[in-house]
Structure 1
Amino acid sequence: MTTPPQPEPLPEREREREPEPEETGATVAASAEADKQWLFGGVYGTVLASAVLAALHDAGDDFTPYYDAAWIVITAMTAALAHGYAHHMSAHLEGGYAHRLRQLARALADEWTLVVASFPTVFLLLLAGAAGWHIEPVTWAGLGLNVVLLFGWGLTTAQRAGYRLRSALAIGAADATLGGLIVVANALIK
């Protein structure tokens, strides 16, 4: 009696992620939660930086890259604080004041990726200020950079979450489309 041929295993990058033997359910859940947080913060922070960059200037305005960089950081930090606080307040947490305060601190700390995701745009503006670059090419370069970063956030996070390459590319493209919408809006409004 012969056994039917077994299907060939998928290459590593095409396989759904399988937990390592030593991983526990809690470890896998924590890893998945970290991946979600990276994707959320990365996309949100990059889109936010793009929107602020696009909105800061009108034709004929003086280019103020350091001021613009500061406003991007302030906006990202404020959004992170508001989002973390809203998450905390929307969850009814039992316990004393100290416990609720620790939970609030944890909720706020979970938002750090949103702020970090704005840094490439901030660094571009700081470099533009130091080099004396003009506003229009810097704005377009920043928006283009952020579209590429959004694609990277989506692709990388989807792959880490176990999506097949084709699905991960689609997720990256969907994220990049968010940045593309800001590029189109900037072109139409200005």
Structure 2
Amino acid sequence: MCTPLNPQPPTGPRPRVPPAHRGSDWMFGGVYGTVLASALLAALDREGGPYLPFQDALWILVTAVAGGLAHGYAHHMAEHRTDSAAHRWRLLVRALWTEWPIVAATVPTVLLLVLAGLANWNSTGVTAVGLGLNTAMLFALGSYVALRVRYRIGPALLIGLADATIGLVIIVANAVLK
């Protein structure tokens, strides 16, 4: 360490710095992507209208990719305005890449819709199953990440329950609005 008594920086290996996000970006992206998929699944369900599960799956995927890109770009622009141009590009690519959990979290819903299109399932059942699946995923994701960042089991399950509550709000909103 540089001090007035020792003006030279240490020459040994640098101490290992833990990853900055340690599950928080994964958690954010997973929750955000799952909530996004749930909200779009509920909104795209057209009772009485034509059911287009392949188109709905594509809309969910495109929206997740666009949302991830926008979120990564916004973070990049807010954090790296003064870096050199070449360094900014590398940081931009890294910022965009860290948003993959948003897209990954929508994949179960997308696959459910593709399966629904192939098997010719009805929209109401698919929406109910998808919203239930996503609510369970929110619970599991919240609990898992909380345990991973060293919460005890009780608080971790409460965090999972809080995340699942977001899914339940979407289910209730879907029932009330339709």
TM-score (norm 1): 0.83
| 1:79-107 Cα distance to aligned partner (Å, 9 max, x none) | 00010011011114433211111111111
- Distance in 2 separating the partners of 1:102 and 1:92: 11
User: Moved runs in structure 1, 4+ residues, more than 4 A?
Assistant: none
| Matching residue of 2:30 | 42
What is the deviation of 1:25?
Answer: 5.1
| Matching residue of 1:188 | 176
- Distance in 1 separating the partners of 2:111 and 2:82: 42
| Matching residue of 1:71 | 59
What letter is aligned with 1:91?
A: E
| Matching residue of 1:175 | 163
| 1:91-137 Cα distance to aligned partner (Å, 9 max, x none) | 14433211111111111000001000000000000111111100000
Percent identity of the aligned residues? 53
- The one of 102, 109, 117 aligned to 2:105: 117
Question: What secondary structure, in the 3-state scheme, does the structure 1 residue paired with 2:110 have?
Answer: helix
What letter is aligned with 1:76?
A: A
| Matching residue of 1:19 | none
| Matching residue of 1:100 | 88
- 2:157 is the counterpart of 1:160: no
- Distance in 2 separating the partners of 1:189 and 1:69: 22
| Matching residue of 1:8 | none
- The one of 50, 57, 62 aligned to 2:45: 57
Pick which of 150-159 and 50-59 moved more: 50-59
The 8 Å contact of residues 61 and 106 in structure 2, kept in 1 or not, is answered as: yes
In structure 1, the gaps of 5 or more residues are: 1-23
Aligned residues: 164
Question: What secondary structure, in the 3-state scheme, does the structure 1 residue paired with 2:23 have?
Answer: helix
- Distance in 2 separating the partners of 1:138 and 1:92: 43
- 2:132 is the counterpart of 1:140: no
In structure 2, the gaps of 5 or more residues are: 1-14
| Matching residue of 1:17 | none
- For the aligned residue pairs, the C-alpha RMSD in angstroms reads 1.2
